[in-house]
């Protein structure tokens, strides 16, 4: 249970960052050629195009080529720096490198902030000429997206001011990350035998799955108690982040922060509201599950720290990392040999994954990388079944990135956030199907069914609750209602009561959970977990019950990057997210699984 220092982690358990730069010194040497000092333009060759974008298609293409190639190069520097930073966020040299890379991005944004306003100022005839020009064929959809934002683009001077503000507006998130991932120490908690157990972010998740109820309760109260001690500071940080979203929305003449977050992706705000409405209308399905959970656990009171412990006694499926890797690779066979072999090489040979927790390592899990790198997966693997699914989830992201980067030019290679969670949850569904075939005993199957129910609860219901809270705090700020700790605690408790129902005791400590959720700093991101799992459930059923065409349509979606609007990419793959039907179908699936679990038990 002891957490290793970074230098003690075995090479085979670390991601292969050396594939980007052989050493930190090599990174510093190459990055040093980017003179970000605020004493003149860092990229004068870009500034040379200012005032010339309307000359002709050839000039515009040269400017776009240079802009994207510069950004591409910066992405490589940033990727290395942020990966090194996340290995040990308390290590000052890597922290400084990360801050320098972030500063370079801000400098780039400032020095190119004139480009889109200048494009917006072009006459309608010039816009039509450029959109129909064969010279600009490779950039047509990019230009369509830019011209679509004309009414929300400011003058060149004002765009520069907004770009200058960008670095300062990152402060709330960076401060939250620092206090959450580095400064907070949770000490230890006692289990039912009185033994002291160390408490970290990763171990907290582990303890909530333990059968030892005393340990679960103590971990739950201790971790949230730490956040309660700093509720005023954490409230101000969250308020600062929301204020930055409101600033950007109002500066760009959007009706709300929600519209500002969704409009550039061509997603109507009605999609967001429809998700909350659909889940709220069927919340009884979740309440029925909490009543069943209380019954199966045989407790007089069902507390929030009882919501993650497996319901099936004497079954606790755990896997070593190597076993998890093998299962994830086998599970993707329905996507074809090429997909499967690529993933196998990435996980087993190329060291895509940083596997285990070490001291001061960033908590959680993610998939990262850039156009010129392999995908990189951060894990804090503990051997739980949940960790196996997390590996499948992040591998789905990584393969999405790999295929997008391989099949699209740089400027279309990053898939939109709205579809980001589709490939990841799709792969979780494939893993679930594999494990149901591997484990044939009634108790094991019930355990896996319960796991799937928990996935849907955590991804569809919990993330929608987060989305509702996020919408609420932005609405409050836009109406000049102060965000105070007491107000946030009251509203967060109401949401927990709404979602968990009367069968669950809403413990006082949960009132402060809002203060530890990093996704509330991400500008309307969490709802996409819920829409993503709904799309993934529909697409996985379509692929598994279909043939070659259905599989190829799904793979074409993975290869599409941002070459189309996200709603259109999904529709071509076979699911229409403008309709509430995928969400309703996922809730129906959840209810069917609850029925199945009740029969099995």
Mean pLDDT along residues 242-264:
95
User: Distance (Å, rounded) from C-alpha 347 to C-alpha 352?
Assistant: 6
Q: Which of 394, 454, 491, 509 is catalytic?
A: 394
3-state class percentages of the chain: helix first, strand second, coil last, to nearest 5:
70, 5, 25
**DSSP annotation of 411:** G
What is 281-330 written as a DSSP string?
Answer: HTTHHHHHHHHHHHHHHT-SSEEGGGSSS-SSTT---B--HHHHHHHHHH
- Rounded to an integer, the average pLDDT of 44-62 is 96
Report the number of secondary-structure helices (H) and strands (E) in the chain.
Answer: 26, 7
Structure tokens that stand for 387 in this block: 């960790």
Residue 37: is its pLDDT beyond 80? no
Strands 196-198 and 188-190: antiparallel
Give the mean model confidence (pLDDT) for residues 351-375.
95
Higher pLDDT, 34 or 186: 186
Is residue 440 scored above 90 in pLDDT? no
pLDDT of residue 39: 64
CA separation for the pair 387, 410 (Å, rounded): 32
pLDDT level of residue 313 (50, 70, 90 thresholds): confident
CB < 8 Å & 24+ apart, contacts of 539-547: 539/422, 539/426, 539/573, 539/574, 539/575, 540/426, 540/429, 540/430, 542/574, 542/575, 543/334, 543/335, 544/334, 544/433
- Given a cut of 80, whether residue 508 has pLDDT beyond it is yes
DSSP category for residue 263:
G
The DSSP bridge partners found for residue 196 are 190
- Predicted pLDDT of residue 156: 80
CA angle 15-17-19, nearest 5°? Answer: 115
Work out the average pLDDT over 38-59. Answer: 89
- Residue 247: half-sphere exposure toward Cβ, Cα within 13 Å: 15
Query: How confident is the prediction for the chain on average, in pLDDT?
Result: 94
Q: Please confirm, yes or no, whether 394 is among the known catalytic residues.
A: yes
- Residues 102 and 106: their CA atoms lie apart, in Å, by 6
Q: Is 463 helix (H, G, I), strand (E, B) or coil?
A: helix
Report whether pLDDT(36) > 70. no
pLDDT at 127 over 70: yes
164: pLDDT strictly greater than 60: yes
pLDDT at 40: 65
Share of the chain above pLDDT 70, in %: 99
Structural domains in the chain, sorted by start:
6-169 (1.20.140.70)
pLDDT digits (tens, 9 = 90+) for 367-390: 999 999 999 999 999 998 889 999
Strands of 376-378's sheet in order across: 353-354, 376-378, 366-368
Under the banding of pLDDT at 50, 70 and 90, the label for residue 1 is low
Question: Is it the case that residue 513 has pLDDT exceeding 70?
Answer: yes
Cα angle 145-149-151, degrees, rounded to a multiple of 5 = 155
Return the percentage of the chain with pLDDT > 90, whole number.
84
Specify whether the CB–CB gap between 600 and 445 falls below 8 A. yes
Average pLDDT over residues 539-552: 93
- Rounded Cα gap, residues 119 and 582, in angstroms: 38
Contacts of 520 (CB under 8 A, 6+ apart): 238, 241, 466, 469, 470, 473, 514, 526
Stronger pLDDT, 403 or 109, i.e. the higher one: 403
């Amino acid at each position: 249970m002891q957490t290793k220092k970074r230098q003690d982690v075995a090479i085979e358990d670390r991601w292969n960052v050396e594939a980007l730069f052989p050493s930190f010194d090599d990174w510093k040497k190459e990055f040093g050629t980017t003179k970000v000092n605020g004493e003149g333009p860092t990229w004068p060759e870009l500034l040379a195009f200012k005032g010339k974008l309307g000359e002709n298609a050839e000039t515009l293409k040269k400017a776009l080529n240079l802009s994207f190639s510069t950004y591409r190069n910066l992405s490589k520097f940033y990727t290395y720096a942020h990966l090194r930073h996340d290995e040990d966020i308390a290590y000052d040299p890597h922290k400084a490198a990360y801050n320098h890379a972030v500063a370079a991005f801000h400098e780039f944004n400032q020095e190119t902030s004139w480009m889109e306003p200048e494009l917006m100022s072009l006459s309608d005839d010039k816009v039509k000429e450029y959109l129909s020009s064969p010279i600009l064929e490779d950039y047509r959809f990019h230009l369509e997206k830019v011209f679509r934002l004309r009414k929300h683009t400011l003058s060149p001077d004002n765009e520069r001011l907004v770009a200058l503000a960008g670095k300062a507006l990152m402060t709330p998130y960076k401060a939250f990350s620092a206090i959450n991932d580095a400064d907070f120490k949770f000490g230890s908690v006692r289990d039912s035998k009185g033994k002291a157990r160390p408490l970290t972010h990763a171990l907290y998740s582990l303890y909530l799955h333990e059968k030892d109820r005393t340990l679960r309760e103590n971990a739950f109260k201790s971790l949230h108690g730490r956040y309660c001690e700093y509720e005023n500071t954490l409230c101000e940080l969250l308020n600062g982040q929301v204020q930055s979203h409101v600033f950007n929305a109002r500066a760009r003449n959007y009706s709300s922060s929600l519209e500002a977050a969704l409009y550039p992706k061509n997603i109507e705000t009605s999609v967001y509201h429809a998700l909350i409405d659909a889940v709220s209308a069927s919340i009884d399905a979740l309440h029925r599950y909490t009543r069943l959970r209380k019954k199966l656990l045989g407790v007089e009171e069902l507390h929030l720290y009882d919501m993650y412990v497996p319901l099936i006694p004497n079954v606790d499926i755990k896997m070593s990392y190597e076993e998890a890797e093998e299962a994830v690779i086998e599970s993707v066979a329905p996507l074809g040999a090429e997909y499967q072999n690529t993933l196998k090489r990435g996980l087993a040979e190329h060291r895509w994954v940083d596997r285990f927790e070490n001291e001061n390592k960033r908590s959680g899990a993610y998939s990262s990388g850039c156009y010129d790198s392999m995908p990189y997966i951060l894990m804090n693997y503990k051997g739980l079944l949940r960790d196996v699914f997390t590996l499948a989830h992040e591998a789905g992201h990584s393969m999405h990135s790999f295929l997008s980067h391989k099949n699209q030019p740089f400027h279309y290679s990053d898939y939109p956030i709205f579809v980001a969670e589709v490939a990841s949850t799709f792969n979780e569904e494939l893993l679930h199907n594999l494990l149901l075939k591997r484990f044939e005993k009634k108790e094991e199957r019930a355990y896996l069914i319960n796991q799937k129910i928990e996935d849907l609860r955590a991804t569809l219901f919990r993330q929608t609750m987060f989305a509702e809270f996020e919408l609420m705090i932005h609405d409050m700020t836009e109406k000049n209602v102060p965000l105070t700790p007491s107000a946030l605690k009251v509203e967060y408790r109401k949401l927990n009561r709404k979602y968990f129902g009367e069968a669950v005791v809403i413990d006082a400590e949960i009132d402060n959970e809002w203060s530890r959720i990093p996704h509330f700093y991400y500008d309307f991101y969490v709802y996409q977990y819920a829409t993503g799992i709904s799309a993934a459930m529909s697409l996985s059923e379509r692929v598994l019950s279909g043939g070659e065409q259905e599989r190829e349509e799904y793979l074409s979606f993975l290869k599409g990057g941002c070459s189309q609007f996200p709603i259109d990419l999904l529709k071509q793959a076979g699911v229409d997210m403008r309709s509430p039907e995928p969400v309703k179908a996922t809730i129906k699936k959840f209810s069917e699984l609850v029925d199945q679990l009740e029969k099995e038990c």
